[in-house]
Structure 1
Amino acid sequence: MKIRTWKVTTLKNSYCFDILTEEFRRFELDLLGVSKKYIPEVGNMKLGDIEFVHSSRKDRVHRQGIGFIINKEAAKACFALKGTSTRTLITHFTTKKFRVSVIVVYAPLEPTDGEKSDSDEFYLQLQEEIDRAPGRNMVFLLGYFNAQVG
C-alpha cells in the first residue's frame, strides 16, 4: 500500500483538483493524506477512478480542513471513516495481510508569547483517536503538524 501526505495550499479551484489527481496517479498512490485544503463542509467527491473524502469547517469559511484521496482498490478495503473535527480525519482499512488505521491531521500553530492556542486540546484529542484505534491495527499518522525545528 503506497501512502503519502501533502500539504496543499488550496483546492478552491477545479484546476487544483486536476493537478492533485494527476500527481496522485503519476506516483501510483493508494492513499494520499491532504491537509490545509480549504474546501468548506464535509463530503466525498468522485474524481474519475479515485475518491476524495474531506472534512472541514461547516461555516463555509475557507480555512483549515483535511482529507484524503484513495484509489478504487483502497476504497474497497476501507470499512470505516470518521471526521472527528476540522483537523482530524480517521479511516480504517483491511488488507490481505493486515489491518490499517490512517489518521490525517492538520495541527494548529503553537502559541507564541502570551497567545492562546487550541494546540493542547488538539493533541489530547489526537491521542484519544490513536488510543481508539483497534489494537491489532497498524496506525499511520499523516498530515501537517506546523512544527518548527531549531
Structure 2
Amino acid sequence: MEVILKNTTPYGEADEEATAYGETDEHATAYGEADDHNRPMTTPGRDADTLQLISTKTVLNIGTLNTQTLAKPGKMDLLLRELNQYKWDLVGLNETHLPRTGEETISGTSLLLSGRTDGTHRQGVGFILSPTKKKTLISFTPVSERIATIRLKGSVSNLTIIQVYAPDSARSDE
C-alpha cells in the first residue's frame, strides 16, 4: 500500500492533482508560470536541509512491504534495486527475518531494523529511509521484533510512524 500526500511543491507551484480541482498558485501568471518578482522571499537562514523537512507543501511517498525474508544472500540488493524504480521516501518492512536491531547504511540508504535478539531468523520489522529523508530522522525506537517506530522532523510538527507486524490468525495466542 502506498500513501501519497500531495499539495504543492516547496516553491509553491501547484501540482497536477491540485490543478485538476481548480486550485492554482497564487503567484502564477495568465500563462501558468510563476511570477518570481511577486513570489514571497524565503526565510533567512533557510538551506537545502530545511527544504527536506516533512511539511504540508512537500510530497511524502510512504509504502509498506512484506519482504518474506531479507536474510538470504542478495535479497537486500534486490530490494534496493527494485525500490530505485519507484519514487519513494519511506518504506516500512515486515518479516525481515534479520536477527539484529539497529541502524545500517547500504548504498546511501538507511535501514532501521528491529529484529529478534535470540539469533532466530523469524519475524522482524524495520524501515528504509531514502537519503533525502534520512536528514529528517529524529529517532528510531525498536520496541520488539514485531513493533518499531520512527520520528521525523517536520516544519510545523514532527511525524511519528509505527510499523507493526501481527501474527496471522492461524497462529496461537502465545
Question: TM-score with structure 2 length normalisation?
Answer: 0.62
1:43-82, aligned counterparts within 5 Å? Answer: 43-82=102-141
Determine which structure has the larger strand proportion and give its number.
Answer: 1
Deviating above 4 A after TM superposition, structure 1's stretches of 4 or more consecutive aligned residues are none
Instruction: Give me the whole-angstrom Cα distance separating, in 2, the residues matched to 1:99 and 1:43.
Output: 21
Partner of residue 43, structure 2: none
Task: Please give the per-residue CA displacement for 1:69-89, whole angstroms capped at 9, x wherever unaligned.
Answer: 001221111101101111000
Q: Distance in 2 between matches of 1:14 and 1:110?
A: 30
Tell me the residue number matched to 2:167: 108
The equivalent residue for 1:86 is 145
Describe the SS at the equivalent of 2:74: helix
What SS is found at the alignment partner of 2:84?
helix
Tell me how far apart the structure 1 counterparts of residues 157 and 166 of structure 2 sit (CA, whole Å).
Answer: 28
Select the residue among 68, 73, 79 that pairs with 1:14.
Answer: 73
Other structure's SS at 2:135 match: helix
Q: Displacement of 1:96 after TM fit? A: 3.0
User: Which residue of the partner structure matches residue 64 of structure 2?
Assistant: 5
Structure 2: state its 5+ residue gaps.
1-59
Which residue number in structure 2 is paired with residue 95 of structure 1? 154
CA distance in 2 between counterparts of 1:42 and 1:24 reads 22
Aligned mates of 2:73, 2:126 — CA distance in 1 = 16
**Could you give the per-residue CA deviations for residues 62-106 of structure 1, whole angstroms, max 9, x where no partner exists?**
000001100122111110110111100001112335421110111
Tell me the SS of whatever aligns to 1:12: coil
Q: Match of 2:75, SS?
A: helix
Q: Are positions 1:117 and 2:173 aligned together? A: yes
Q: Percent identity?
A: 26
1:27 to 67, 80, 86: 86
Q: Taking structure 1 as the reference length, what is the TM-score of the superposition?
A: 0.71
Q: How many residues align?
A: 115
RMSD: 1.6
Answer 1 or 2: higher relative contact order, Cα 8 Å, separation at least 6.
1
Name the CA distance, whole Å, in 1 between partners of 2:72 and 2:104.
Answer: 14
